Amino acid sequence: MKHSGRKKRRTKGKLKHIAAAVAGAAIMSSMVLPGIPATVAHAAKNTSNQSAHTSHHETRKSESKHQAAPDNYEDVVHVKATAYAPGPHDNDQWGNKTYLGTHVRPGIIAVDPDVIPLGSKVLIQYPDGRSSYAVAEDVGGAIKGNRIDVAKWTVDEAKDFGMKDAKVFILEKGDTK
């Protein structure tokens, strides 16, 4: 019985660290993704910290609020989303470079430019209530039609992502083809 309290404290501590990491990533994303206001990143930070202190039921309730369409968007595309990582394992001879010459990193997606123009700023919403901002900077041999590939830091993160249905709200269409 003594050990259950200790384990609970460790788990709670880990959740705080995860929430802090998510908040940091949100803030860093606002620096990396031009045109996405810093207030969006700070709102994500507050949501992450708050969710670490709420029950599972309350978290689910708040996630459903995030499923509303953004106020301003140019188009919405229903897609199958997969993930990839920099390096030859997922990105062949291009390694850590995108089609536009930038580095493969979270916040970047590979698209079919005939469906989502390169350079587009998007909001991706997943069925589980999560959402993320990204910029279309890459293409892929298997990314044809209504498919996107979401960049992750590692191959393991990309594998864990799997394949998901998603809605992509095009917030600002890119003009690079």
pLDDT digits (tens, 9 = 90+) for 56-115: 333 333 344 447 888 898 899 999 999 999 987 776 677 789 999 999 999 999 999 999
- Residue 25: predicted pLDDT: 54
Kindly tell me if the per-residue pLDDT of 19 is higher than 90: no
CB 89 within 8 A of CB 155: yes
Count of structural domains within the chain: 2
Question: Does residue 70 lie in a domain region?
Answer: no
**Do 47 and 104 reside in the same domain of the chain?**
no
Which tokens is 9 given? 């404290």
Is the predicted pLDDT of residue 161 greater than 60, yes or no?
yes
Let me know if residue 136 belongs to a domain: yes
Report the pLDDT value the prediction gives residue 106, as an integer from 0 to 100.
95
State how far the alpha carbon of 4 is from the alpha carbons of 16, 55, 64, in Å. Answer: 19, 19, 32
Do 43 and 91 sit in the same domain of this protein?
no
pLDDT score of 70: 84
Cα atoms in the Cβ-side hemisphere of radius 13 Å centred on 99: 21
Q: Average per-residue pLDDT in the chain?
A: 74
Beta bridge partners of 77: 168
* Residue 43 within a domain: yes
Tokens of 172: 């600002």
Q: Are residues 120 and 39 in the same domain?
A: no
Domain region containing 158: 75-172
